[in-house]
Structure 1
């Protein structure tokens, strides 16, 4: 069983630069740096875009997750209120 390695963000950015700016192949860079091509492809997708756009995308992702959680909570509250209204309507009438 292989131990999972953690790479710093600087390491990932340098690896991505070798692919995007210097024109080396993903498999070649991955083999040279001792990482998997799959990881390097993921890094290229994440870090290959400018930092400003990446931060905007991260902010949008965080906002989306927050809104989905709020929607889930509000939907649960609505369902509880529907059941309570039906219960009290049955009791009073």
Structure 2
């Protein structure tokens, strides 16, 4: 009679978390061009590039919707000089509303202390 060895998850204390890959705009455009050419399947191309197959389709959709020049802009918030005035005013209004709520709570606390 043989016994099976216990399966225990191996945890390496020195193991680092996976690092997210960042692809350049040019590499994304080239990958989508290869996908559209039909030379190989999306799955084979994804394996070759080391990405998920659905990521290729997401990149292709972004190019179809926005065009190759407008697709894949930089990540994060745009600099204030490039943001519309409406966005800036809305952000400032939100900040001022928060400040106002804090001041109302502070006033209520002072009023209770006076009694």
**TM-score after normalising by structure 2:** 0.45
- Equivalent positions of 1:1-93 (< 5 A) are 5-19=21-35, 21-23=36-38, 25-48=41-64, 49-51=66-68, 53-54=70-71, 62=78, 70=92, 72-90=94-112
Select the structure with the greater relative contact order (CA < 8 A; seq sep ≥ 6).
Answer: 1
Between the two proteins, the alignment pairs up a number of residues equal to 89
SS for the counterpart of 1:35 is coil
| Offset at residue 13 of structure 1 (A) | 0.8
What is the CA-CA distance between 1:51 and the residue it aligns to? 4.0
Larger Rg: 2
> Would you tell me which structure has more helix in proportion to its own residues?
1
Unaligned runs of 5+ in 1: none
What's the C-alpha RMSD, in Å, of the aligned pairs? 4.2
Give TM-score, length-normalised by structure 1: 0.51
Alignment gaps of 5+ in structure 2: 1-14
Q: Deviations over 1:2-44 (max 9, x none)?
A: 775443321111111223x425643243134343213323322
